[in-house]
Amino acid sequence: MNTEEFVQAFFMEKENLLKTYTEDTTETQVGQLIHSLNLTEAQNKVMKQIIDKVLTDAFYTILIELDGNGSIGGIQEMYSIKTEDGSQISGEIEGYAYEYFQEND
């Protein structure tokens, strides 16, 4: 796995969570809470947009923090992320994170 694939995997996870939370047949606690609101179609659309933005912000923030471009709990440093085979992941995360999470927004 290279750096782009690492970021892309985070993006796919965000998309999967969004789908899981907002589909009619969801069994997640988040999805069940949303469903319990009995929202109209228009309100469901807004709710989906809100969740999408929250997930985007959360995943993007984590990725840029791992790359040393933000602080985690007040500590700012670059983290070394390696795959099982020892390949380096960090160092280019911010650029790919921007591409996947901000430009695709």
Give the mean model confidence (pLDDT) for residues 91-102.
91
> Following CA atoms 93, 99, 104, 105 in sequence, which dihedral angle do they give, to the nearest 10 degrees?
70
- Across the range 71-94, mean pLDDT stands at 85
Provide the residue range defining the domain that includes 29: 3-102
Average pLDDT, the chain: 90
pLDDT classification of 62: cutoffs 50, 70, 90: very high
pTM comes to 0.87
Task: Report the domain count for the chain.
Answer: 1
Residue 91, phi-psi category: left (phi > 0), alpha (psi -120 to 50), beta (remainder): left
Question: Between 54 and 105, whose confidence is greater?
Answer: 54
Q: Do 81 and 6 meet the contact criterion of CB atoms below 8 Å apart?
A: yes
Amino acid at 91: G
